Structure 1
Amino acid sequence: MARTISVLKWESEQDVDNAVHDIRAEIDERGGLTKDTERAMQHSFLVADPDLTNYFLRTVRAQVPEALRYFEERGGGA
């Protein structure tokens, strides 16, 4: 079943938690992120408040470390 990933600006840690959950689910299902998901998450990452961006990176690093590669060139090494 295809999943729909919406592009949004994270407004809270709950939004970030939901994004990380979606990333985990897609990686578990497909072995990686689709281009659409990658673009949507990178957009959210780029427009997010810096505190939420850092929270996102910490959460991805802790819960889905294999997904960090999708964000490293966008500042994921922070």
Structure 2
Amino acid sequence: MSESASANLGGLYILVFLALFVGGVLWACHRFGPDMARNKRDREIETAMRIGLQDAETYDRIAAQIMREREGR
């Protein structure tokens, strides 16, 4: 095999390898991307709800403290 044919074959192997790699990455993004986005959004909503519940409990505690202070006067 001549040098130029060997170089062409090596270039073809590199091109096929890169195409398979890029194709695999694109397939994985298409296959798993929506599930990952949904799970991330679920975690964000859960966190927001937990923070909201904690804030509500804090508001109730502070409101009760203020009411006790007012009754004491």
Bigger share in helix = 2
TM category, shorter: under 0.3
Q: What TM-score, normalized by structure 2, do the two folds share?
A: 0.27
**Structure with more contact order per residue of length (Cα contacts < 8 Å, sep ≥ 6):** 1
Which has the larger Rg? 2
